[in-house]
Amino acid sequence: RRAKLLLGVRDDLKLPLSAVAVLKERYLLRDDHGRVAESTGEMMDRVARHVAQAEEAWSPGSAQRWVEAFSRSLRRLEFLPNSPTLMNAGTSLGLLSGCVVLPLEDSLVSIFGTLGHAALLHQAGAGTGYSFSRLRPRGDAVASTGGAASGPVSFLSVFDAAADVLAQGGRRRGASMAVLDVSHPDIVDFVQAKAAGGLEHFNVSVAVSDRFMRAVLRGTGHRLVNPRTGKAVARIDATELFDRICRAAWRSGDPGLLFLDRINQANPLPSSGRIEATNPCGEVPLLPYESCNLASLNLARFISGGQVDFERLRAAVWLAVRFLDDVIDVSRYPIRELERPAHDSRKVGLGVMGLAELLAVLGIPYDSEPAIRLAGRVLAVIEKEAHQASAELAAQRGPFPLYQHSRYAGQGTRPLRNAQLTSIAPTGTISLIAGTTSGIEPMFALSYVRHILGRQLPEVNPHFERLARDRGFWSDQLRAELDRTGMVRQIPHVPPDVRTAFVTALEIPPEWHLKMQAAVQRHVDAAVAKTINLPEQATAADIRAIYLAAWQARVKGITVYRYGARPGQVLTLADPG
């Protein structure tokens, strides 16, 4: 089979133009002269070969069989690992994990030690998350100098400045997450930190407790506590603080909320500590120095005869779990501190992409009960099979070393190889490579401009275009109307079933976004990366309502984005005028 040549790249996988552009720029190996040295399919082979090496330790001589199995599935785009695995497998940058959480204790040694570690991790393309909650507040005493502490927000700017410098050299700018507990005395500064400008490399989230959320609903007081002394330093109105959070989120999309009580109820290893932070996009709550390898099943590849092909999906789950378990063993950690925790709990995160494409192809509107039910069912199957696959691996390779201390022990179930199995990543780049919709997000628009690597690529949703051509309603006029609004719900000459099935993010009421997130979360071990999209004219009260509803829906965190709130969106409508 001859590979087609696209942008000078041998593209044997027949990927979309924007995918080839990204792969060429950042993923494909280059030779000493800087020339691209592998085809798109060879990239998948490189990843498969590298990861399958782990198989030799369990069954000498078996690796080749797994190279073939992994490679076949990757080449078919049935699942893809997170970007660092695609970029770094088989190279000198051996880190394959997408996300890491690092500790921040209340000392300069800890803060700047972690800053140094973060630099190495970002260089390898991993994202980092931190809780700033243990740092003493601004103005607090510093014993060694007799001076006043500068507080979490100023250290946060140092981390951001460092990320800025690093971003210029790396292939992928590792994003970061900063979390601050809602009881920290500097919480108001933190809440407003992003809206004030800067902190481009950070997502920020406020860690809220159930107690705080109840105080918001009752309109009662909330205590701010100095983490150094454990003493309450102020009592403020919970509702007022919550409204500040919502107003800041209205302006910039940040802060999001992290529901730490919910996260810790699901913590598989409570004896190892309370979880205080997540990775940058929120889908993986982790303890300090834990890391996580992600992979996502491309749901659009599991449709046969107008239905989800559960048989093939199950087989792919087993293969992907094995792949992820192998990744842990062949990943090389740029800092020693990551090694032990990775092997002790063996957390991985198998998720999905292409949910919206699956729904559209099956003719099911995203904002409908059948869509919520189908998504829940698909994730329930993935979760069940992933756990069975992990139990099977545990029978062959042994359970994860901390198994006896985990909340699974003594439950009468078979031991697991991995303390955590599923997680819904945003799949920002890998969905682009696979040519499908990202994570569990609805389609952004049916016609849009992708701002990528300094280029502006106009795109029309390929499924919509194909369907419109097949059913004979594609026209230049339709294309022009699509470019104008990005949506089809209000275009009269498009058949009604197509109009409802191809619904886009901004047409979907926020409560349906949340319903989808909650339905999926019920069948996911870790968390779900999801953005609740709001139209430009949404108000702070709308955000307040959705933040409260999110807590009540028992999701682990919530992120909103009001269209246009930030300059430099990745996707914009083709012709906003």
Q: Which residues are catalytic?
A: 279, 281, 283
Binding of ligand CDP by 270 (CB under 6 A) = no
The residues, ordered by sequence, that sit 6+ positions from 23 with a Cβ below 8 Å of its Cβ are 9, 15, 40, 43, 433
Binding of ligand CDP by 172 (CB under 6 A) = yes
> How many chain residues are in contact with ligand CDP, going by CB under 6 A?
20
Nearest to ligand CDP of 125, 486 (CB atom): 125
Closest-CA residue to 289 (of 113, 88, 91): 113
Q: How far apart are CA 374 and CA 146, in angstroms?
A: 61
- Among the listed ranges 159-167, 168-176, 307-315, 489-497, the one in contact with ligand CDP (CB under 6 A) is 168-176
- Among the listed ranges 22-30, 210-218, 425-433, 500-508, the one in contact with ligand CDP (CB under 6 A) is 425-433
Question: What are the residue ranges of helices labelled H in 124-151?
Answer: none
Among 152, 256, 426, 486, binds ligand CDP (CB under 6 A): 426
Binding of ligand CDP by 185 (CB under 6 A) = no
β-strand pairing of 99-102 with 291-298: antiparallel
What six digits make up the tokens of 378?
């698909």
Q: Which residues are paired to 448 by β-bridges?
A: 459, 573
For 548, the 3-state DSSP assignment is: helix
Q: Which of residues 124-163 bind ligand CDP (CB under 6 A)?
A: 127
Closest-CA residue to 233 (of 163, 270, 184, 275): 184
Query: Smallest distance from the beta carbon of 529 to ligand CDP, in angstroms?
Result: 6
Among 75, 173, 407, 489, binds ligand CDP (CB under 6 A): 173
Binding of ligand CDP by 275 (CB under 6 A) = no
- Among the listed ranges 55-63, 427-435, 463-471, 544-552, the one in contact with ligand CDP (CB under 6 A) is 427-435
Give, in degrees to the nearest 5, the angle at Cα 368 between 365 and 372. Answer: 105
Nearest to ligand CDP of 331, 485 (CB atom): 331
Closest-CA residue to 560 (of 527, 534, 529): 534
Nearest to ligand CDP of 166, 224 (CB atom): 166
Query: Smallest distance from the beta carbon of 89 to ligand CDP, in angstroms?
Result: 13
Binding of ligand CDP by 281 (CB under 6 A) = yes
CA dist 296 → 80, 334, 423, 429 (Å) = 6, 24, 9, 11
- Among the listed ranges 274-282, 320-328, 376-384, 405-413, the one in contact with ligand CDP (CB under 6 A) is 274-282
Among 99, 178, 258, 419, binds ligand CDP (CB under 6 A): 99
β-strand pairing of 202-208 with 176-181: parallel
Among 174, 285, 399, 435, binds ligand CDP (CB under 6 A): 174
- Among the listed ranges 68-76, 110-118, 419-427, 511-519, the one in contact with ligand CDP (CB under 6 A) is 419-427
CA dist 303 → 155, 221, 355, 531, 536 (Å) = 49, 52, 11, 26, 35
Binding of ligand CDP by 345 (CB under 6 A) = no
Query: Smallest distance from the beta carbon of 174 to ligand CDP, in angstroms?
Result: 4
Specify burial of residue 476 (Cβ count, 10 A radius: 0-12, 13-18, 19+).
Answer: exposed
Binding of ligand CDP by 423 (CB under 6 A) = no
Binding of ligand CDP by 16 (CB under 6 A) = no
Binding of ligand CDP by 427 (CB under 6 A) = yes
Query: Smallest distance from the beta carbon of 175 to ligand CDP, in angstroms?
Result: 4
Nearest to ligand CDP of 11, 283 (CB atom): 283
Q: How far apart are CA 43 and CA 49, in angstroms?
A: 10
Among 264, 428, 484, 499, binds ligand CDP (CB under 6 A): 428
Residue whose structure tokens are 């995203």: 366
What six digits make up the tokens of 512?
């349906």
A 10 A CB-CB count for 271 gives 10
Residue numbers at the binding site for ligand CDP (CB under 6 A): 82-83, 98-99, 127, 172-175, 279-281, 283, 294, 425-430
